[in-house]
Structure 1
Amino acid sequence: MQLNAGCELSFDAQEPTPLVLMLRPRSGAGQWIIREEYQITPAVNVTEFTDMYGNLCQRLVAPEGPFSIHFSATVQTADESDVAPGAPYTPVEELPDSVLHYTLPSRYCQSDQLGDLATQITDGVEPGYDQAEAIRQWIHKNVTYQYGTSDASTSAVDTADKRIGVCRDFTHLGISLCRALNIPARMVVGYLYQLDPMDLHAWFEAYVDGRWFTFDATQEQPRGNRITVAYGRDAADVAFTTQFGPMTLNDMKVWVDADEPTADVNEKKSESIPTFSTSIGSST
């Protein structure tokens, strides 16, 4: 499906404040960026770099006073997420070097403290994909989704104890439980079509059978039509905005709508816009 997605952020800076933004998706597994627009008001100098996870990051200094960011994109997305029941566990000694660090505990994902829970959830389940899916289903059934029940300091251990949170918390718990079983897992942030309520979203990917698979514990069933913006070990790596000074977020708007191409665009679609006969998934 072709989607129009984006966000608007309105700030007030108490003084000139350095910012690192992570708002631009890039073409890759399951998505193709057709068009994008980036507006910053007032205009400032912006530089861009690629971080260690392959995410596009923008650096700037917001001037004192009101400051706003508008980003929008049209993206061709995969309609389904890959599922692979029975896909085998990838032994640690066979993991690519670039995947190894996703087996380790991180700031919000204390996998070293959740081994007993992970073992309990996956008792009798075949190692690999089925374990990650059992974890996803357990979180979906046993953790309540509710706004205002967690904050920026809430960790996977907190969520396992309180059994309540939002997509960020569901994701940290899923990552931690997978890593506790030596299954590499990473955080993904971006957009999901028909998410209710609409917001920027988070889910996790687990590495089994030599590739990454998508798992979203907030949803009843696997869903496609996702736009990935960034990957990381946990929320510390994938913040949409990181500020280095006093700055207040006054308002945020997020949208994801189905794009309806004109007849002329539709006729040229097969020539100019990639479509995805396969679904979301990646070996990188």
Structure 2
Amino acid sequence: MKPVPQTHIITADCPSRPGTVDVVTRFLYEQGFYINEIHSFDDTAEDRFFIRIEFRSDTETEFNRENFCQEFEQRAGEFEMQWQLASSSYKSKVVIMVSKHDHCLNDLLYRYRTGDLDIEIPAIISNHPDLKELAKWHGIPYYHLPISKETKPEQEAKVWQIIQDCEADLVVLARYMQVLSSDMCEKLAGKAINIHHSLLPGFKGARPYYQAYDRGIKLVGATAHYVSDDLDEGPIISQGVETVDHCYYPQDLAAKGRDIECLTLSRAVRCHIEHRIFMHGKKTVVFSK
């Protein structure tokens, strides 16, 4: 069987102007690469152009990253492009933070275990000991770091040290029920994803699904977003929603919400590790499959 050729991903954004697609695709053609997938978007309101291309070589010649970057930079510089190059063979290192709710963690671990999410998980961090055995079963180090108002700075310093030691590319808050400090949010800007139910801001605090049931809610969903200092208001990556009706009691609403949270979070993680997301001010541009 012929080996599957290695693929690479180039992402770029620049001011809107004619020739932005051509400068990338023509370069790849001239270098002998084949384009597997291409997405582009021109934001006419902001005059900003975005492009993501996944490509491969049909030859057995080894990919020379340094030469590629040097030669492409000459072309990209003429268009003021900000660009990055990634290899599909690289497995992103993802640190997961969790409290007691295990549904999102379980889902991510299943996708990790089966290869559906092509990642490494070097650490799971929690402020509770409850999920230690789950991490142990997967052979993943589990760090139990209790937290209180008085110990928060110390606890976050330990969390940050673990993230650095793991050389984490991404931190996923898989229902980590603690508010990160402004300092931690700043350190994790653009590399930490949170998930929460869609009942915010209407039904805050404890027992949101009971509050929603009392109001006869007809939609249940979830939002995955990048962490920011504005609580639950970071740039949105992915959202999921499903209809419900009068037959759904609070426990049914909560069960439906958990399912949507799992799907929405995994979709956001996938988009991040596949370099499908561009930060665009307070928003994102997401090129989903």
Global fold match (TM > 0.5): no
Higher strand share: 1
Larger CA Rg, structure 1 vs 2: 2
What is the TM-score of this pair, normalised by structure 2? 0.29
Q: Whose RCO is larger (CA < 8 A, sep 6+)?
A: 1
What is the TM-score of this pair, normalised by structure 1? 0.30
